Structure 1
Amino acid sequence: MKNSLSFLLENLEDEWGKEITLKRNDFLINKGDLNTNLYLVKEGSLRVFIDDDEEHTIRFGYKDSIITAFDCFLTEKPTSFYIQALKKCSLKVISKINFIHFINSEKEYQDVWNIFLNDFMYQQIEREIDLITYSPQKRFERVFKRSPQVFQEILKNILRLI
């Protein structure tokens, strides 16, 4: 089966609601928010982080990626995360209710969503292994190998400042 995210995005095209724009450093979601929407990043980049006396970035969102406060999306309880624009962003929005209705409308969509969730879980496991097992240098090498787009986005932002 083709890439699960690509398949979902193609089939969700008509389901997205409004489009929103964030300026650089604007927050999409703040700790304590009850926001179960899913967002499709059309342009720009965002970071998901926690702040417990020190900021820790959990993941990034880039063009054509889906981003949400997954803890809130899954449990419908206030989130522990912040989601902040690293640069100007354009995002499409779908509510959890509309998304679940869409996913449940066809078995194939349910299967693809499960593949997407499995991929997400595997990424989280890889991150945990990195944090527990490897030196900072080795973690850097593994992240670069797994997610070169992180470094491409950082480089783009640096070049824009020069």
Structure 2
Amino acid sequence: MAVKSSGILDLLKANNLFEEELVVKRNEFLKVAGTVDTNIYFIEEGSLRIYIAQEKEEQIIRFGYQNDLIVSLDSFLIEEPSDFYIQAIKKTVVKVISKKAFFDFINKEEDNLKLWNSILQNLVLQQMEREKDLLISSVNERYSRVLKRSPRLFQEIPHKYIANYLRMTPETLSRLKKS
């Protein structure tokens, strides 16, 4: 899942939580299905997609780009393998925080715990919006909702990935953008 940092970065930097920096080349994987990943990643530059592969088809569920936190939330929380892939759309630089370092930090002070609750709340609300998008049968309405909610997405992410995310063909997306 991805969440906007809105001040989180400053707090994480001030507490020196970043343990390493990774450069993920275009199309390279940060995480593959069937693996456990308990890290949180802060995207310094570039963009990533989270997707699931089903019956030889990929279905994108989330994007992350500069100043987002991204995590394989299921694997992070329960420390079991996840079905999700996290792949770089273009060269991406991420800073890494381990689960242990993050939980040591959030358990240190009540304000830090409030930060974690805010992150989780944001992720739940994003997921609810995503589920609403998927239930809407009108491609026009789906497109409009996502454009209104995430206009930057259309500047950062190639259209073929956005079309997949919106559950439409690239041609349909192109027609919607022109109208």
What TM-score, normalized by structure 2, do the two folds share?
A: 0.81
Aligned counterpart for 1:145 among listed residues 145, 148, 153:
148
Structure 1 equivalent of residue 48 of structure 2: 46
Structure 2 equivalent of residue 18 of structure 1: 20
Aligned counterpart for 2:87 among listed residues 69, 84, 93:
84
Cα deviation 1:93-140 (Å, max 9, x = unaligned): 010010111111110111121112111101101111111134122111
- Structure 2 SS opposite 1:44: strand
Aligned residues between the structures: 153
Residue 154 of structure 1: how far off its partner (Å)? 2.8
Cα separation, 2, equivalents of 1:119 and 1:93: 20
Letter in 2 for 1:45: S
> Is the CA contact (8 Å cut-off) linking 2:47 and 2:157 kept in structure 1?
no
Structure 1 equivalent of residue 115 of structure 2: 112
Matched, 1:94 2:106: no
Residue 155 of structure 1: how far off its partner (Å)? 6.1
Cα deviation 1:33-64 (Å, max 9, x = unaligned): 11110000001000000001211101001011
Structure 1 equivalent of residue 124 of structure 2: 121
> Is the CA contact (8 Å cut-off) linking 1:46 and 1:84 kept in structure 2?
yes
Q: How does 1:124-135 map to 2 (within 5 A)?
A: 124-135=127-138
Letter in 2 for 1:18: E
What TM-score, normalized by structure 1, do the two folds share?
A: 0.90
**Could you list the runs of 4 or more consecutive aligned residues of structure 1 that deviate by over 2 angstroms after TM superposition?**
4-8
Matched, 1:8 2:8: yes
Cα separation, 1, equivalents of 2:20 and 2:8: 18
- Structure 1, unpaired ranges of 5+: 157-162
- Structure 1 SS opposite 2:36: coil
- Structure 2 SS opposite 1:16: coil
- Structure 2, unpaired ranges of 5+: 160-179
